[in-house]
Amino acid sequence: MPIIEMHLMKGRSDELKRNVAVAVTEAVTRTLACSPDTVRILITEHGADEFFVAGQTMAQRAERLRAATLQEQGQ
């Protein structure tokens, strides 16, 4: 029984999450030659202050990118 864990930033619609679950299920069943009934997908959503990249929260990274963009635009 394949179990797939996905960690996403909050904000995606239920429809998008359903679509990705269908696509992943199809890929797993095709690749592993297993029944779709055996595929389990767990989606965990994280807020911008709960998800870190290179020691910074996504909120910090977004603010840094926003400041750099404004600086490039001369604002």
The gap between the terminal CA atoms of the chain, to the nearest Å, is: 54
36 is catalytic: no
The catalytically annotated residue of 1, 2, 11, 17 is 2
Q: Are 7 and 23 in contact (CB under 8 A)?
A: no
Q: What is the dihedral of CA 23, 26, 38, 19, to 10 degrees?
A: 20
Which positions are annotated as active-site residues? 2
